[in-house]
């Protein structure tokens, strides 16, 4: 994108967000993964013009008693080392809180997460055979997925670079340090298995054990859970609540407001390379109820179902939304 297009996108984003903010209560929960220091500052600067940054424990109150100025809760998934070496130090300088969702079995681990290995394969091979493409892998049960990626890594002599802080995982000491400095630490599964691809008991075990392990690492109750890749069922989300989570995160790409349930909170996904205009436009689109891609692959279906529900009942109720969503596990996409 050239400079003029970026400026135009930025202007459209600003205008759309200004309009959206006039009519929306609540705020946004941002879903990030890895950012470098400069990207962290840039995202904070863009979001900070429109939103109050809040701590995790403030979220229920801000949803039920909206302020004039909307809120933004920053969340970072996967527990990469750069969260501790780049993101957190910048956020501290800026006085901005955040939640870090950590894959429990990857703490202190010297094994990269499966999607970083897949990315390394893609980088080395260029075009990947269909069986190794992200979309295909995300349809598989975890054990099959991991076997397939491992086999390919051996076959092609490829490994993800654990010297890269965007690939390496945080140590328990780093995670404890973040907690002690006031950041929130949440659970993101025992492995990064997509829980709707697993047998129900295995999925439940992943939720329960990850919450228990994070509690042990930080020496305090772990009060939040985020579904790997965003895929969830209402039953699993409710189970996370029974295991001690007070708030459960999905990747439904919508604004969070008084109709949002704490056991199924929406999040908007941002990336390091997103321009200011793109970030603003994503938020404005989410506010207006227009379609954004859900990384779990269900965004369009979700909205189509809700639209149908509205048309058939003549109104939108949260109960109707839950009813519509409870029957099917949601499909795949970005981590």
Instruction: Give me the 38-77 binding string for Zn ion, x by CB under 5 A, dash otherwise.
Output: ---------------------------------------x
Q: How far apart are CA 264 and CA 242, in angstroms?
A: 13
Sign of the dihedral through C-alpha 39, 223, 233, 61: negative
Q: Counting contacts by CB under 5 A, is residue 335 touching Zn ion?
A: yes
Other beta carbons within 10 angstroms of residue 1's beta carbon come to 10
Is the Cβ–Cβ distance between 29 and 256 less than 8 Å?
yes
* Least distance CB 101 / Zn ion (angstroms): 7
Among 47, 54, 56, 78, binds Zn ion (CB under 5 A): 78
| For Zn ion, the closer CB: 40 or 83 | 83
Instruction: Give yes or no for a contact between 230 and 75, defined as CB atoms under 8 angstroms apart.
Output: no
We find the least distance from the C-beta atom of residue 160 to Zn ion, in angstroms, to be: 15
Residue number, 207 or 309, with CB nearest to Zn ion: 207
Instruction: Decide whether 10 or 83 has the Cβ nearer to Zn ion.
Output: 83
Q: What tokens does 206 get?
A: 């992943």
Is the CB of 33 or the CB of 62 nearer to Zn ion? Answer: 33
99 binds Zn ion (CB under 5 A): no
Task: Please give the residues from 220 up to 239 whose contact with Zn ion meets the rule CB under 5 A.
Answer: 228
d(CA 195, CA 206): 8
DSSP 47-104: HHTT-EE--GGGHHHHHHS--SSPEEEEEEEE-BHHIIIIIHHHHHHHT---EEEE-G
Q: Do residues 84 and 170 lie in contact, with contact meaning Cβ atoms separated by under 8 Å?
A: yes
Residue 228: CB minimum distance to Zn ion, A:
5
CB 22 to Zn ion: min, Å: 34
Q: Closest approach of Cβ 23 to Zn ion, in Å?
A: 32
Which of residues 16 and 224 has its CB atom nearest to Zn ion in the complex? 224
Question: Which positions lie near Zn ion, rule CB under 5 A?
Answer: 77-78, 228, 335
């Amino acid at each position: 994108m050239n400079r003029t297009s970026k400026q135009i996108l930025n202007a459209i984003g600003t205008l759309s967000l200004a309009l959206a903010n006039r009519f929306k209560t609540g705020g946004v929960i941002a879903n990030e993964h890895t950012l470098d220091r400069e990207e962290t500052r840039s995202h904070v600067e863009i979001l900070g013009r429109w939103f109050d940054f809040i701590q995790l424990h403030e979220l229920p109150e801000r949803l039920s008693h909206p302020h004039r100025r909307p809120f933004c809760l920053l969340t970072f998934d996967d527990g990469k080392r750069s969260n501790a070496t780049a993101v957190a130090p910048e956020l501290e300088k800026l006085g901005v809180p955040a939640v870090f969702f950590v894959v429990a079995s990857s703490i202190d681990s010297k094994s990269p997460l499966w999607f970083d290995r897949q990315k390394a394969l893609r980088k080395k091979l260029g075009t990947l055979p269909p069986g190794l493409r992200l979309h295909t892998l995300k349809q598989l049960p975890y054990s099959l997925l991991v076997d397939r990626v491992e086999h390919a890594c051996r076959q092609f002599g490829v490994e993800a670079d654990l010297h890269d802080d965007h690939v390496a995982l945080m140590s328990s000491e780093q995670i404890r340090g973040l907690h002690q400095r006031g950041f929130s630490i949440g659970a993101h599964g025992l492995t990064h298995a997509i829980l709707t691809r697993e047998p129900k008991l295995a999925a439940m075990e992943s939720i329960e054990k990850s919450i228990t392990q994070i509690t042990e690492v930080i020496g305090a109750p772990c009060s939040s859970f985020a579904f790997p890749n965003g895929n969830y069922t209402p039953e699993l989300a409710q189970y996370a609540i029974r295991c001690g989570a007070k708030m459960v995160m999905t990747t439904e790409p919508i604004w969070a407001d008084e109709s949002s349930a704490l056991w199924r909170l929406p999040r908007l996904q941002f990336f390091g390379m997103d321009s200011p205009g793109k970030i603003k436009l994503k938020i404005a689109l989410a506010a207006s109820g227009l379609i954004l891609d859900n990384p779990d692959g269900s965004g369009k279906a979700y909205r189509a179902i809700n639209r149908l529900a509205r048309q058939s009942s003549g109104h939108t109720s949260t109960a109707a939304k839950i009813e519509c969503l409870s029957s099917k596990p949601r499909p795949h996409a970005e981590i």
